[in-house]
């Protein structure tokens, strides 16, 4: 009770202090960031990691963007596509935010992009990997700081071929994300001269894999390429190992197969190779500093999602410095955002014509419960967003 009272007093003192400093900065109002991320449900952890990363980057810039204070408007997207247009409208028209940052879920992204098109609101996507966001649906006011399904799976095609695999079975969930991912792998693998002998699609979100593993064993390919995520990823990797397939048929995958879940794999993931635009073990100065700062601020190790949030913040810092905090001139602001170049914890990163990150994709192998970087699977890979006419 007494403690709460103290906290309240402290809070009002702090806010009073902030008000006076706001006054000192003349009539400048804060830059408003609208965060449309999941803060409840399955994707809560992702929403929180992105928010943490974003705030860390802005805190490291004295909590300011272009010399102006920052105000956060956080809205729970609930990862619910049907509420997306309405939520986005609320941020853009109701709260009048300068930037919208979101979402995590590709279905929500579809709804948000409709509103982004009508309103022209500057939107930065810190996760959702659907290809169309920067391709068929691309627009000047939309940026992405994460990845696309294609970008993370395409490099594995060449890796698999170079490792000597010629006949591969792919297996994923029967939904847009899984299909886009496997298509990227197949494109590269078959261009090299390999053959995808069977494409297995599991009804989403089933995690009953036994009959498919039996099928894989009877085909006996050189390797298996897979995309599953979350609990599905853990189930698949464990079942694959338990069926004794891991030693005879190497398991390859997109990084999301095991990202954030290595502990739950309980040793079953050792030796599994995946491609992703980040690994917590990346050996560069920025990553070491980032991991340390994140650990200190939030008491836990960062993951890919935290990096995506962090880079979204770093991008805003750089762009708003360039335009001296002027958010009125949208065209100049969009130009500044598009020309951002970052030395990110994930390595160098810039933006393509379609506003998609040009970045390294790393080949990682699970060793002693960590994603160790084996090498760079694709250096500064640009996504060919052919359908994007801006």
Partner 1 sequence: MDLAFFGVQLLNGLQYGLLLFLIASGLTLIFGIMGIINLAHGAMYMIGAYLVWDLTMRLGNFWLAIVIAIPIAVALGLIIERLFLDTLYKRDHLYQVLLTFGLILVINEAQRIIWGGDVHSVAIPAPFDASLQLTDNLQYSVYRLFVMGVCLALAGGIYWVIRHTRLGIIIRAGAVNRDMVEGLGINVRTLFTLIFSVGVALAAFAGMIAAPLTSITPGMGDSILITCFVVVVIGGIGSIKGAFWGAILIGMAETFGPVLIPSLASMVIYLIMAAVLLVKPRGLFA
- 3-state secondary structure (DSSP) of residue 198: strand
Stretch that binds partner 1, among 126-134, 215-223, 270-278, 319-327 (CB under 8 A): 215-223
Helices 304-322 & 44-59 angle (0-180, nearest 10): 40
Residue 239 Cβ vs partner 1, minimum distance, rounded to whole Å: 8
In this chain, which of 74, 89, 235, 350 binds partner 1, going by CB under 8 A?
Answer: 235
Residue 22 Cβ vs partner 1, minimum distance, rounded to whole Å: 36
Q: How many CA atoms lie within 13 A of 28 on its CB side?
A: 19
Stretch that binds partner 1, among 68-76, 149-157, 183-191, 241-249 (CB under 8 A): 241-249
Residue 45 Cβ vs partner 1, minimum distance, rounded to whole Å: 5
User: Segment 158-197, which members bind partner 1 (CB under 8 A)?
Assistant: 174
Cα distance between residue 317 and residue 313, in whole Å: 6
Stretch that binds partner 1, among 21-29, 90-98, 139-147, 244-252 (CB under 8 A): 244-252
Tokens 């920025």 belong to 286
Stretch that binds partner 1, among 183-191, 199-207, 280-288, 375-383 (CB under 8 A): 199-207
E strands present in 184-331: 195-202, 223-227, 251-254, 273-276
Q: Is 214 in the site for partner 1 (CB under 8 A)?
A: yes
User: Segment 32-51, which members bind partner 1 (CB under 8 A)?
Assistant: 40-45
Please report the DSSP string for 86-131 in residue order.
HHHHIIIIIS--SEEE--SSHHHHHHHHHHHHHH--EEEESS---G
User: Segment 59-88, which members bind partner 1 (CB under 8 A)?
Assistant: none
Both structure tokens of 134: 């920067």
| DSSP 8-state secondary structure symbol assigned to residue 41 | S
Q: Report the interface residues with partner 1, using CB under 8 A.
A: 40-45, 174, 200-208, 210-215, 217-218, 220, 230-235, 238-239, 242-245, 248-249, 260-261, 264-266
């Amino acid at each position: 009770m007494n403690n709460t009272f103290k906290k309240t007093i402290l809070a009002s003192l702090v806010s009073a202090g902030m008000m006076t400093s706001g006054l000192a900065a003349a009539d400048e109002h804060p830059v408003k960031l609208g965060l449309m991320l999941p803060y409840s449900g399955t994707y809560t952890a992702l929403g929180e990691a992105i928010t943490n990363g974003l705030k860390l980057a802005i805190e490291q810039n004295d909590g300011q963007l272009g010399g102006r204070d920052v105000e956060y408007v956080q809205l729970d997207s609930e990862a619910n596509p049907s509420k997306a247009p309405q939520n986005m409208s609320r941020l853009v028209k109701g709260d009048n935010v300068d930037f919208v940052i979101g979402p995590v879920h590709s279905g929500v992204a579809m709804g948000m992009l409709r509103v982004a098109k009508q309103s022209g609101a500057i939107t930065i996507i810190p996760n959702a990997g659907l290809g169309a966001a920067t391709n068929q649906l691309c627009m000047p006011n939309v940026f992405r700081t994460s990845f696309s399904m294609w970008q993370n799976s395409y490099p594995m095609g060449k890796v698999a071929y170079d490792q000597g695999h010629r006949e591969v079975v792919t297996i994923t969930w029967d939904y847009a994300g899984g299909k886009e991912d496997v298509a990227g792998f197949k494109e590269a693998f078959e261009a090299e001269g390999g053959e995808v002998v069977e494409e297995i699609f599991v009804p989403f979100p089933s995690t009953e894999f036994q009959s498919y593993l039996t099928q894989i064993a009877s085909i006996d390919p050189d390797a298996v390429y897979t995309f599953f995520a979350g609990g599905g990823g853990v189930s698949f990797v464990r079942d694959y190992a338990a069926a004794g397939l891991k030693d005879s048929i190497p398991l390859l995958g997109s990084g999301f197969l095991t990202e954030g879940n290595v502990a739950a794999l309980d040793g079953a993931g050792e030796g599994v190779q995946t491609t992703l635009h980040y690994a917590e073990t990346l050996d560069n100065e920025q990553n070491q500093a980032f991991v340390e700062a994140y650990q200190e601020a939030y008491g836990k190790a960062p993951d890919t999602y935290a990096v995506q949030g962090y880079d979204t913040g770093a991008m805003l810092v750089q762009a708003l410095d360039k335009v001296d905090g002027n958010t009125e001139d949208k065209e100049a602001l969009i130009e500044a955002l598009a020309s951002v170049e970052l030395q990110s914890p994930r390595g160098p990163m810039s933006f393509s014509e379609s506003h998609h990150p040009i970045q390294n994709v790393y080949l990682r192998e699970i060793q002693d419960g960590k994603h160790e970087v084996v090498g760079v699977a694709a250096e500064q890979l640009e996504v060919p967003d052919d359908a994007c006419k801006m």
